[in-house]
Amino acid sequence: MLSWDEYETARAMLAWQVELGADEAILDAPVDRYAAPPPGPAAAGQAATGQAATGAPASNAAPGTVARAAPPPAAPAPEVDAVALARQAAQAAADLDGLRAAITAFEGCELKRGARNTVFADGNPEARVMIVGEAPGADEDRQGLPFVGRAGRMLDAMFAAIGLSRGAAEGPSALYITNVLPWRPPGNRDPEADEIAMLMPFVERHIALAEPDVLIAMGNISCHALIGRRGITRIRGQWAQAFGLPVLPMFHPAYLLRQPHAKRDAWSDLLSLQARLREAP
**Shortest CA distance to 192 belongs to which of 248, 109, 85, 103?**
109
Cβ pair 147, 120 in contact under 8 A: no
Cβ pair 123, 174 in contact under 8 A: yes
Q: For position 10, what pLDDT does the model report?
A: 74
Q: For position 280, what pLDDT does the model report?
A: 79
Q: For position 53, what pLDDT does the model report?
A: 47
Q: For position 11, what pLDDT does the model report?
A: 74
3-state SS, the chain, equals CCCHHHHHHHHHHHHHHHHCCCCCCCCCCCCCCCCCCCCCHHHHHHHHHHHHHCCCCCCCCCCCCCCCCCCCCCCCCCCCCHHHHHHHHHHCCCCHHHHHHHHHHCCCCHHHHHCCCCCCCEECCCCCEEEEECCCCHHHHHHCCCCCHHHHHHHHHHHHCCCCECCCCCHHHEEEEEECCCCCCHHHCCCCHHHHHHHHHHHHHHHHHHCCCEEEEECHHHHHHHHCCCCHHHHCCCCEEECCEEEEEECCHHHHHHCHHHHHHHHHHHHHHHHHHHHCC
**Shortest CA distance to 248 belongs to which of 238, 259, 261, 263?**
238
Distance, CA of 51 to CA of 38 (rounded, Å):
20
Q: For position 166, what pLDDT does the model report?
A: 96
Q: For position 212, what pLDDT does the model report?
A: 97
Q: For position 70, what pLDDT does the model report?
A: 67
Domains and CATH numbers, the chain: 83-279 (3.40.470.10)
Per-residue pLDDT of the chain (281 residues; tens, 9 = 90+): 556 567 677 777 777 677 666 766 666 666 676 676 666 655 555 544 555 445 544 455 555 555 566 666 665 655 678 999 999 999 999 999 999 999 999 999 999 999 999 999 999 999 999 999 999 999 999 999 999 989 999 999 999 999 999 999 998 999 999 999 999 999 989 999 999 999 999 999 999 999 999 999 999 999 999 999 999 999 999 999 999 999 999 999 999 999 999 999 999 999 999 999 999 76
**Shortest CA distance to 177 belongs to which of 124, 228, 224?**
124
